[in-house]
Structures are given as structure tokens and as C-alpha cells.
Structure 1
């Protein structure tokens, strides 16, 4: 059932809770027991698109005026942005790190605030930076995946009301058309909006919209997506376009279905982001009685990606799926108290993706979030990077490999885990991982 419009603000906040510490979320009743079979798995096909992800604002540094620099300047963020991991200067070396993994896709974003700092003017030097970035990705043997909106827009658009303003749709499209016209000939994959429900949640968090304005923001995102989809296909007829969905285990249908219904006719592949299992109903935060735990303490169970992919395979049997983001947070790069390592998590996740493929799901790619640590929307404490970077304490911003670098390199070379691999975290009842409606679904037919 689509979301009732009056419920959208709370549900958007629930979606944001999976990426933003301290936002409470609701968890539905647990589902009946269901554990998928765990047969030996086969290697992923040679054409599988292995990749890495990053985003402009979170990694580039040297940030121009935007909704997010305004929020940080207000003093509400935990950490100042500084120059993040300085991807703006170090992008060539970082792209080389991705290529050394064997990656075939490099996901990036073109920051609207950087390329259009004034309503009537474009920054040619900023556009030149993205020209060089896209060219370097291609020269390194990878395909760009370009995100048009990763939650950041110019300060002048904020002054006009941001997503409160109906004119935001056309303002957004002016920039998006510029980017599409400039890069369509390079044959990128396209992401229009990063995790729209969580985008709405972040705008609620930073004061870009009020709760009552969340439905209008969803409407405007859907309008902008549909319009730029048509533009992309005029410029690049064989384009592959999506808006990646931030999967909310335990409340996926309630949070994301309305947007999926709106944009579903105009996506060429289904972009799915997966991080966490549902929270236990015994957690006081799910009762509205306490703030949620920090992001690195949210439940990590890679098996849940199987159910997320199965759900969208059933909704879109005619279209392929791509895991646009997946990863695991640690606290300042410290070992997790449960001993679960980044390489364990990566291998376990690929095992369940390979199980999904064995069950007939058409999955064409996987991006790790993220290549390096970066600014996680107000804080440097959550670390997701294959390469860790201590922004607050290391002025050299050294890229230090985690254990997952060697693991991902091996996985890419081998096409995933071996046939005799068994997950470090054994299979659980679906009831622990997701809601009853998701658990009751059956595998799509090959």
C-alpha cells in the first residue's frame, strides 16, 4: 500500500534513521520464521560491474556555499567539514586505488553548489574539475556512475526556499540538464537522486523543510526525476538510469513504496542500498522512548540484503538490480566489539548476493560504500572506507588500507566467494531481519 501522505514525514525520518544517528524508528511486528537455502554458490559473471562509491560534498572538501555548509555553520553538526578527505585535490590517486582493486565502476556526484554558485552563472573551473574527474575514471578502465543530487544544493537555492519552493524543480533541472548534456557522451550510469526518502529525512533534520512540507518535497523529487530521465535518454538513448533506494528493513514498503510507484516507470535498473537489519522491538528507541544508538551500533546482518534484493526483483521482474551502496560502519576505525571485521562483512554480503543470483535474481553490479572514509553528514566518527582516513588528527590525510582492501581485490578477481564459503554470521530467521510482508515473499522465478 502506498504511504498515506500525512504519514510521510515520520516515515521519511525513519528512513533517515538508518543513516543518521539519533533518529528513532518504528519496527513492525516480527515475521514468521524463514531462512533461505544456503547452497554452494557460483562465481558472478565476468560482466558483473564491481564498483566503489563516493559523493562530492562528503569527500571533495573546499566546499562552496550550500544547504549543508549553512547547517554546519549553525553549530549543529558534531564536526566541522574542514576539507574532508580532499578528494578535490587527490582524486587522481584515489581513482588509482579503485582501479587497483579491479573495480569497473566509480560512483561520484557532480555538486550543484560547486558548478552553479550563482543562479545566472556557471563556474567553468568547477566544470573543468568534473571534466578531468570523469576522464580520469575512464582512463583508469572504469565506467563513471554519476549522481546528480547527493543531498546538497546551492546556498542561493536555500535562500529561495529549497524544496519548499515549487520553483526548485526547474532550478534543479537547469543544473541537471547542464550536467547531462556535458557528460552523456561519456556513457555513464546515472543516479538522479540519492536515497530520496532519506534525503527528505535530512532536510527535516537540518531545517530545509518542515514535517508538513515533506509530501511536497517527494512530489518535486518525482517530477524532477521523471523530467531528467527523458533528457538523459534523448542525449544517451541506451542510458541506464535509476534513483537508488535506501532500503529500510522492517518498514521498506511504508517508507519507500510511494516514491517507487511514482518513478518506477522511469528507471532502467533498480538501485538498492543496504546497510542494516531491523532494530529489535525491545530497543527503547523503537518505542519512542530514547534516541537511537550511534550508526556503528545498528544491527549488521548481511543476510538481509538477500530479502531486499528479492523484494525488488519481484516488484521489477523485467529490470536488473544494482547494489549502489553497501558497507559497514565502525567507530573511528576501531575494531567492532563483536569482532566482526570489514572483510568478514564484505565476504558475507557477497555470499548472499551470489545466493540471490543463484535463485534467479538479475543483479548486475555492486558498489562498496565507500572508497575512503568521509564526512558522514555531520561527523567523522562513523568510518565506512575501504581506506581509512583520520581527518581530525592526520594533516596528511593518508589513505590507510583496511583489511577489506585485500578481501575486495580477491573477491573481484575470483568473481565472489568460493563454492565452499559459509558466512561468518550464520543464517537467521527472516523475522530477525525484516518485516512479515517481506519475509512472506517468495523468490522470483528465473
Structure 2
């Protein structure tokens, strides 16, 4: 099997970085990308500015390959998704050349001649990667190893609080988006709802807040499942990524201003349509009415359908790779407290198969590009037989300033460590963590 390539699924940041490391180590590789360009998923949110700076968004092997073409790494600044694709991913894909095959959708991964049940001779058989091309043609490709870097972009979580779409959510799909909005001008004067408490939801709220300030009559309602707004503010001055901290600062200002109506403990149960507008109903019977548009930004989950005929070990709770689940569980950890994840932690029962990138995190949030680059560096070193390099930890994650996870789902105080206290802003009462965040300086 040593004559066969390593197949990488996905030409996003981690997939291309894996290809760069494989190329440097002299291992044949083929990258299969269902889109028509590198970073196709990122291009869909190209209008969003990242809170990681350029130095944290490029991989070491990729930089070395690019520098041979005369490319210079951007030294500073915070690119948008579109700029990340244009100034890094596209040049990298060009440098990797025909190793990347676009318009190719992976439909399944298996062992040649062995379904999931068969033990006999399993390890000696190559992987067979089943594909469809953009014209619908079927194909198969043999591989010595497979690195699944296909991400989670295609499976956003629903607005429904129990993990399934709320009653009526599918029927109202023309009024519900699961992506961060770009141009929101057409929503001027309308009532818009954002569901979610992560960075994507914060981005959407801030964009809609600007619209509400420009267009009188525009209403923005922010629905949080948790009983407190404290997690929205993040770690403040303790955050190692200043732009991530700035999101929390701006969110705090939005809440202070009263332009956005924040509703906590709201777990969406049903969506009703009446005369072209929606009513969002919570499990406890509360309702938000007259809604023209909903942005459900509640995270993503991995699509494991292509892996159904190989033996994988995923955590029952997070659907993350089992070897890293305990270290990324959002009930326990913040992003900055997560340990490095390399080949040993990412290894699957199916020898030679690795799940990396956002998909390795399953439903866990706070994945950073830095983490993915370290993953693929270690995995490729392992595949090349360099076990010392595979075991080495070259990752230092920026701290979040949050000293715990979000396990206290119904508690008003979580996030940053602080003595129990409350802070009154108008009619809203914030927990101690929020009170701490409010000491931040303006952006």
C-alpha cells in the first residue's frame, strides 16, 4: 500500500495544510473537494471578519511551500473569510496544483472488499474512497490512508432546543437562515430574531444592531437558551485574542443600549406562521411574535455518513473523536484550557484513518485554525513514520480568559471566575461574570 496516495477529504484550511505537510515529506497525496475552489465553505461566509490574526491563520508547511513561489505571508491584521481565501488558500491550492481535484464529492470510505463487519485481512487492505463528480459520474480511488478534513459546514444545528427542528421550523424555512447575514438592508423596519449565544450569533446581532440604529422601526430580539448573558461576553481582557474579546465588549454595549431585546432561558419549541410572519414559542410557553426573519446560529454537527463502513470511535455526547472529547467538552473547558490534539489522540480503530479539523470536534465549539494545523502536522508525521515529531506538542493556544466551561445550563453565573454578585442595567440583571466583563474598555 505504500505506493498508494494519502487521500485528504476537503480543500479547506486543514485539508490543504495536510496536503502541504504530506508533500514536504514526499508522500503522494490527493485532495478531494466537492466545491469548485479551495475554501469553498469559507467563501460562503466571506463577509465575516475573523477574530484570529493572520499569523494564526497560516500553517508552517504551507508557508514554506508558498514562499518558494514568491508569496509573502501577511504580517498582521484580521482578514475576512474572503480575504483568507484570496490571499492564502487560493495561492496554496495553486501551489499544490493537480494534487487537488475539485467538483468531487466523497460518498463513502471503506476497506477494499471488506464491509464494517469483516475482521479477516482488514488491516492489509487499502481504503477505497467512493466519489461522485460534478456531472454525476461515480468513481473509486484506493488509498493507503485517509484524512477526513471535510468540516461541519453542511450540517448546522436547528433552532429547536432539543437538537431536532422545532415544530414548524422546516415549514418556515423560507424565513429561517442558518448563516451569518451579510446585507441586511431588506430587513429594515422588520422584527428579526437571532437564536444562539456563540460568536456567530454575536456577529449577527452586531450587524442587525447597526441596521436598527439606521432604520427606525427595526426590532432585534436575541434569544439565549441559557439563563444568563454572561457567556456572551467571553473573557474580556483575559482573552488572548483581542478581537474575540472585542466581540464581547461590543455585545455588552448592545445590551446596555437597549436597542436589542435579549431574552434568556428561551428554548425554542415551535415556530408558527400567521399572515406571513412567524411566532416563536418557547418550551415554557413564552412567545415572540411578528417575526419576519430568524437567524438560527446554534452551532454545527458532523456528517458521519461517509464513514459508516469504517470503524470509528466517536464520543457519545459530542460526536467528537473520542480521544479528544474529554479535553474539549464545553461543559468543562473553555477553548484556552484545551490540550494539544495530535495523532495519538486522533487515532481511530480503523488504522490509517484520521478525522481532523472542525469535524474532529463534533458538536463542540471554539475550534481554532491553530488547533487544526497542529493536528495535521502530527498526523502526517505519524503517517511518515516520524513518531518523535508526531508525539511532539508544538501548539500553544491563546487563553480565552474564561476559567471554566458552560456546564451550569440553568445557572445565572458561569464563565469567568468571580464572586457571586449581580449588576443592574436598566431592567436587566446580569450575573457576576457579566459584571466583570463590563469593566472592559471600549473598542
What is the TM-score with the length of structure 2 in the denominator? 0.25
Q: Taking CA–CA contacts closer than 8 Å with sequence separation of 6 or more, which of the two structures ends up with the larger relative contact order?
A: 1
Q: Which has the higher strand share?
A: 2
What is the TM-score with the length of structure 1 in the denominator? 0.25
Instruction: Give the number of the structure whose alpha-carbon radius of gyration is greater.
Output: 2
